[in-house]
Structure 1
Amino acid sequence: MIDAPIETWYTWLGIAAVSVLALGTAVGIPSGPTPDANGVADTIDRVAADEFPATAEHGIAADRIRLSPTRVSLRGPGGSTTAPIRFGPVTPATNAESDDRLRRVLHGEPPQRVFDSPDALDRAATVSRGRYDRNPRWERAPNRLRVRSIHWEGLRVTLVG
């Protein structure tokens, strides 16, 4: 007989090794799809590049978001992805650390009602961009991300939150 008998120790050791390898591969498979950071960045870019004021929303299927003036990252059960924002820098207005006035404009209030002048809006946007550029942090992701571009007396600002 040419075959090794099934009782030999190295046969059982080989079967155990293959079983452990198969289990490790099955456990390493993500439990869901990777979040779509490219789709979010594309939505932001479309609004930021528009020559007219615009607003858009993009659904997010992720648990966490990290937004900076030049990139967006999403993290979920399927892993994490990052995409560049090509028509930035944009102004994040996502959480309680953001200027409340920026969030109000993002959600539809006219900037003339919230800020005294375009310079005041520009200063608030610059502070927000600096804060998020130096320290982009993972935050709880909203179900929908809102993007709004503001054009006010020559000033162009794209708010994201």
Structure 2
Amino acid sequence: MFDLPAESVYVWFGVSVVSVAVLGVALSLPTTTPAATGPLTTSIDRVAASPYNATGEHPVSADRIKLGSQRVATETGDTVSHSTFSYGPITPVSRGTALWRVLQGAPPGTVFDTARSFEQACIEARETPATWRPAPRRLTMRKLTWEGVNATLVSA
């Protein structure tokens, strides 16, 4: 009368296995908030991945930004977030340069004499070390192909 049914051992074993599995899942969940740069990176990647010439804008809600050819970082107060581009490298463009005029909509042929000079300007912009700058209200992006030179220009 006080004996345990034979299947109760299997039930306890099954409950133990399930409990360990649930504990493993709970411990593997991230404990930090997702990076604030995620939506920004996604917008840049969408423009860069386009099979056609494309443009886009994305609002920036950060104090400072560091835009490199492979990744972006934002700083708001004491919080710094980093993200890497899936469709890099991109070309960070500084205000007042010839690439800036192309980013703003000028055809590359009106700004550069040859496709080679356009390509060289893009290479130099990508190789410039990224530095922290005051964040603009929005980033502008433009993907274009001109005489075989592909570039994704992003305002820095």
TM-score w.r.t. length of structure 2: 0.74
Whole-angstrom CA distance in 2 between matches of 1:49 and 1:42: 10
Alignment counterpart, residue 99 of structure 2, candidates 98, 102, 119: 102
Q: CA deviation at 1:94?
A: 3.1
Whole-angstrom CA distance in 2 between matches of 1:35 and 1:143: 19
Kept in 2: contact 1:35–1:76 (CA 8 A): no
Q: CA deviation at 1:70?
A: 0.2
1:110-148 CA deviation, whole Å, 9 max, x = no partner? 1111011111110000011111xxx21100100000000
Alignment counterpart, residue 157 of structure 1, candidates 145, 151, 154: 151
Q: Which runs of 4+ in 1 moved over 3 A?
A: none
Amino acid at match of 1:159: L
Percent identity between the two aligned chains = 37
Kept in 2: contact 1:91–1:159 (CA 8 A): yes
Whole-angstrom CA distance in 1 between matches of 2:99 and 2:48: 16
Whole-angstrom CA distance in 2 between matches of 1:150 and 1:160: 11
Alignment counterpart, residue 110 of structure 2, candidates 102, 110, 113: 113
Whole-angstrom CA distance in 2 between matches of 1:34 and 1:94: 28
TM-score w.r.t. length of structure 1: 0.72
Q: CA deviation at 1:150?
A: 1.3
Kept in 2: contact 1:34–1:76 (CA 8 A): no
Whole-angstrom CA distance in 1 between matches of 2:102 and 2:121: 12
Whole-angstrom CA distance in 1 between matches of 2:35 and 2:137: 12
SS at match of 2:122: helix
Q: Which runs of 5+ in 1 are unaligned?
A: 1-32
Alignment counterpart, residue 138 of structure 1, candidates 121, 132, 143: 132
Kept in 1: contact 2:35–2:82 (CA 8 A): no
TM-align CA RMSD? 1.7
Kept in 2: contact 1:35–1:61 (CA 8 A): no
Equivalent in the alignment of 1:129: 126
Whole-angstrom CA distance in 1 between matches of 2:120 and 2:51: 22
Alpha carbons of structure 1 residues 94 and 37: separation in structure 2 relative to 1, 3 Å: farther
